[in-house]
Amino acid sequence: MKAVVLVGGEGTRLRPLTFTTPKPLLPIANQPHLERQLAWLASHGVDEVVLSMGYLPDAFHQHFRHDRLGHDVFGDVTLRYAVEDEPLGTAGAIRFAAEGIDERVIVCNGDVLTDLDLGAMVRFHAEQGAEATISLTQVDDPSAFGVVPTQTDGGVIAFVEKPAPGKAPSNWINAGTYVLEAAFFDRIPPRLNVSVERETFPRMLAEPGLLFGYQSDAYWLDIGTPEKYLQAHADVLAGRAGRVPAPNAREVSPGVWVQGDAMIEPDAHVEAPVLLGANARIEAGAHVTSSVIGAGAVVETRAELSGAVLHDGARVSHGSSVRASVVGADAVLKPDVALAAETIIGAGITIPSGTRISGGRVPAERE
């Protein structure tokens, strides 16, 4: 089975992290999010994936060791690359990436973390004789999403984009995974900027019996904002998206996971859930709770982390604190720095001693 993963967005809401790293390659609990998606797809029988790229395509090539043949292999999945010369929208990107494919295709957004049962969704799609099926998930407040009310058999009735609070006809929203028959691609004009959510799918409503919604209570999260990016780490640590939070992680005490030769020094205070990457170190006198620490990252003595995410090589110097914030790769917090309220520090940045930041963004330089 083949799949297309849409990874072309600029990830503006997660800047400055995405100045240097595309959003799908940002780590979730020390594993690039896209790798988690590929493993999920492979577990449901997908053996070939086309990455639909636009923003920073070389980063994907380098990460997956792209070769001159235009494809390579990640685990049991063969990867191919489709690079847009200019933005084509979601529908245009799907058609461009699926060029030459004449069979059923799974399509998913590159910023969704889910354990959706793809096999069950594909069976539902086939049983309904659908041309396109949209995965749907329930949310408490659908006002920030595209709402998709359906009939009892799953047939889509309408699309309501970001309804006013309390005015939504349903709390089932478009969850960003689609099952599409090859005939669907003919509905999309080639090489044009077209939205599948706002144009292609709504136009199908004129032909009843072709477009369905598949309702699922599976875990689902859009990781595209600082709040949700942090939540993704917390959810993975809590086991909501799989028992083991990261590859090769071992549980050294309940809820405390380490990879490789990570070190927790005696007299360091660590409260689960916590994940330490390979060669990471928590020094004596540090206090760490509900946090993810990347490979080679260091938390010095008297530093405090709570709900924090440190990317690979980051350093939190003595007396500093990080609360519900992200410190990018190789960034350094000098002594007595305090970060809070979803602050994001870009890769390679050094924050001077005594700095206090709440809800801020400290950008990395563009390359």
Q: Is 36 left (phi over 0), alpha (psi -120 to 50) or beta?
A: alpha
Residue 119 CB neighbour total at 10 angstroms: 12
Structural contact between residues 135 and 112, judged by C-beta atoms closer than 8 angstroms: no
Whose tokens are 């063969």? That residue is: 78
Q: How many CA atoms lie within 13 A of 210 on its CB side?
A: 16
Bridging pattern class, strands 27-28 and 31-32: antiparallel
C-alpha distances in Å from residue 252, one per residue of 261, 270, 308: 12, 11, 20
With 0-12 / 13-18 / 19 or more C-beta atoms within 10 angstroms meaning exposed / middle / buried, residue 80 is middle
Spans of the chain, pLDDT less than 70: 66-75, 242, 364-367
pTM as predicted: 0.93
**β-bridge mates for residue 174, sequence order:** 136
Stretch (H or E) spanning 39: helix 33-43
**β-bridge mates for residue 155, sequence order:** 212
Which SS3 state, helix, strand or coil, does residue 61 take? helix
Whose tokens are 């970060």? That residue is: 339
CATH 2.160.10.10 domain span(s) along the chain = 244-362
- CA–CA dist 102, 48 (Å, integer): 14
Q: Which of 2, 13, 197, 1 is nearest to 92 (CA)?
A: 197
Give residue 365's pLDDT.
52
Class in CATH terms, 2-225: alpha beta
- CA–CA dist 250, 217 (Å, integer): 29
CATH 3.90.550.10 domain span(s) along the chain = 2-225
Which SS3 state, helix, strand or coil, does residue 227 take? helix
Whose tokens are 């990570």? That residue is: 262
DSSP 66: -
Q: What residues are labeled active site?
A: 162
Stretch (H or E) spanning 348: none
Give residue 187's pLDDT.
94
**β-bridge mates for residue 316, sequence order:** 299, 333
Give residue 242's pLDDT.
67
Structural contact between residues 226 and 344, judged by C-beta atoms closer than 8 angstroms: yes
Fold of 244-362: UDP N-Acetylglucosamine Acyltransferase; domain 1 (2.160.10)
C-alpha distances in Å from residue 113, one per residue of 116, 217, 321: 9, 13, 28
